[in-house]
């Protein structure tokens, strides 16, 4: 079903809500998100028992389901309500899940969302192949839409994400990473999937390329802010909230924006401490508390938070010329949910 872009009677009734909470945002698409859950569960079943076992385990791990929500919110903003949005919501979640499986193998992670990672349970070989299968299953579902524009977006997305994985490997333990390199990597690993999710909604609503690109631009900046908050939480949250050990990025050799800012401000002997952690792959000679103290003393955590807020505002500005509706309100409110999250 498709209607023109603009406020529906439902939207007119609700559009007085300008600043929505996270709950209010997700409540707008709650029923369809439940359908996405069912679709994801159904699509993670295979004739090969091992794949089904891993797929169902991953489905049971939960998650924010933010990317499917973006597909649904964008679709509704663009006047589309129908089963294709449910299926594409499942597609982006399958792709996201596949990237997490591959990430955990590459990083040697033991936990994910407070549970043993797939590689720690089934080993690297089975996990890589299960991740590959999830990618292929996502395209199998998308192919059934018989829509070349959708496939173009998803193929381009997958290429960029794989390039991001390779780029990250080349940048591991690189002490003098630039801010531009950090954001390029963040785009490839995270923001491009946010952008694609929103563009898919515009495509389903048969909107102009201009509308699609504005929503895509919003998604890029939303995703960059999301990744930056993720990197901050790795220093400021707790293992209970994150579902994995704090300081994991630094242990794995990833130099994120708070550290980039620190290395620009600190003394050479302090930079050597960061290098020692990267070389050791842990906090043996230098404690985690020492690193955290430096981040706080030089104000780099706050500098990174300020940058996240700046990027979030850029995301919001991409929506300015789109017609007012409750779903536009939801997208305008979503950066606050991302900036304020604790896990």
Domain edges within the chain: 17-340
- The CATH classification number of 17-340 equals 1.10.600.10
Alpha-carbon distance of 168 to 276, in angstroms, equals 20
Q: Give the CA radius of gyration of the chain.
A: 20
Which pLDDT score is estimated for 242? 81
Alpha-carbon distance of 332 to 152, in angstroms, equals 27
Which pLDDT score is estimated for 243? 78
The alpha carbon torsion through 120, 125, 130, 131 (nearest 10 deg) reads 80
- The token duo for 109 is 């992670």
List b or e across 280-312, with b for residues whose CB sees 16 or more CB atoms inside 10 angstroms.
eeebeebebeebbebbeebebbebbbebbbebb
Which pLDDT score is estimated for 63? 80
Which pLDDT score is estimated for 52? 93
Going by C-alpha positions, the residue among 63, 64, 85 that lies closest to residue 74 is 85
Which pLDDT score is estimated for 244? 79
Q: Which segments in the chain show pLDDT lower than 70?
A: 1-17
Alpha-carbon distance of 312 to 222, in angstroms, equals 6
Which pLDDT score is estimated for 237? 86
Tell me the three state secondary structure of residue 134: helix
Phi, psi of 15 (to 5 degrees): -70, -5
Residue with tokens 């949910």: 337
- The token duo for 80 is 């589309």
- The token duo for 293 is 């103290």
Which pLDDT score is estimated for 164? 94
């Amino acid at each position: 079903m498709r209607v023109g872009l603009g406020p529906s009677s439902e939207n007119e009734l609700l559009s007085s809500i300008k600043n929505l909470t996270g709950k209010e945002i997700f409540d707008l698409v709650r029923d369809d998100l439940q359908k996405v859950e069912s679709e994801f569960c159904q699509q993670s079943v295979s004739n090969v028992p091992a794949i089904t076992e891993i797929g169902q385990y991953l489905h049971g791990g939960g998650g924010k389901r933010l990317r499917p929500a973006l597909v649904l919110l964008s679709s509704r903003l663009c006047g589309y309500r129908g089963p294709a949005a449910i299926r594409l919501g499942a597609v982006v979640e399958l792709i996201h899940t596949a990237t997490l499986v591959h990430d955990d193998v590459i990083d040697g992670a033991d936990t994910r969302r407070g549970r043993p990672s797939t590689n720690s349970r089934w080993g690297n070989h089975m996990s890589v192949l299960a991740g590959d299968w999830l990618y292929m299953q996502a395209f199998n579902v998308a192919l059934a839409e018989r829509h070349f524009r959708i496939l173009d977006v998803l193929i381009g997305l997958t290429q960029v994400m794989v390039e991001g994985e390779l780029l990250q490997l080349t940048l591991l333990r690189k002490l003098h990473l630039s801010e531009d390199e950090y954001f390029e990597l963040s785009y490839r690993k995270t923001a491009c999937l946010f952008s694609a999710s929103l563009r898919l909604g515009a495509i389903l609503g048969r909107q102009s390329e201009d509308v699609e690109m504005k929503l895509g631009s919003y998604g890029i900046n939303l995703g960059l802010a999301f990744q930056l908050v993720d990197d901050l939480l790795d220093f400021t949250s707790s293992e209970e909230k994150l579902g994995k050990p704090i300081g994991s990025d630094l242990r794995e050799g990833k130099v994120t924006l708070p550290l980039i800012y620190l290395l620009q401000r600190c003394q050479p002997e302090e930079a050597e401490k960061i290098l020692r952690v990267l070389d050791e792959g842990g906090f043996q000679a230098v404690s985690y508390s020492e690193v955290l103290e430096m981040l706080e003393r030089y104000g780099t955590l706050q500098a990174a938070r300020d940058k996240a807020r700046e990027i979030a505002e850029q995301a919001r500005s991409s929506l300015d010329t789109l017609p007012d509706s409750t779903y536009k309100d939801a997208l305008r409110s979503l950066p606050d949910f991302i900036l304020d999250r604790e896990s």
